[in-house]
Amino acid sequence: MKIALPALPGLAPGALGSAALGNGAGLASVEIFKATRFEGDSGKVVFFTVTPSGAAIGGTGCFLLFSFTSIRDAEIVIGRAPAGCNDR
């Protein structure tokens, strides 16, 4: 729980941001490759394939990034003794 809980806030922004990027990239690819626009077929392809896959990849990536950061922070010693302290 110490690692998974701090990693959860990365899931939502990663998924939303990469879904937006995937949506933009999908629409750009439709324009570049001159896909057919018959009854909105190109928009359906972008909305139902590219956007969810981008959200899944981005959400997973941000979750892993935040979890690796949490693991690394768990190993760092936070309470160190002051440098000039002598035990008598």
Q: Residues 18-38: pLDDT tens digits? A: 999 888 888 888 888 887 778
pLDDT at 83: 65
- The rounded distance, in Å, linking the Cα atoms of 46 and 50 is 5
pLDDT at 85: 58
Low-confidence ranges of the chain (pLDDT < 70): 1-3, 73-88
Please, are residues 10 and 62 in contact by the beta-carbon 8 Å criterion?
A: yes
Q: Reduce the DSSP state of residue 36 to 3 states and report it.
A: coil
- The rounded distance, in Å, linking the Cα atoms of 6 and 70 is 7
pLDDT at 10: 81
- The rounded distance, in Å, linking the Cα atoms of 25 and 60 is 19
Please, are residues 54 and 25 in contact by the beta-carbon 8 Å criterion?
A: yes
Domains of the chain by residue range: 4-75
Q: Which amino acid is at 14?
A: G
- The rounded distance, in Å, linking the Cα atoms of 47 and 59 is 17
Structure pTM?
0.68
Please, are residues 62 and 82 in contact by the beta-carbon 8 Å criterion?
A: no
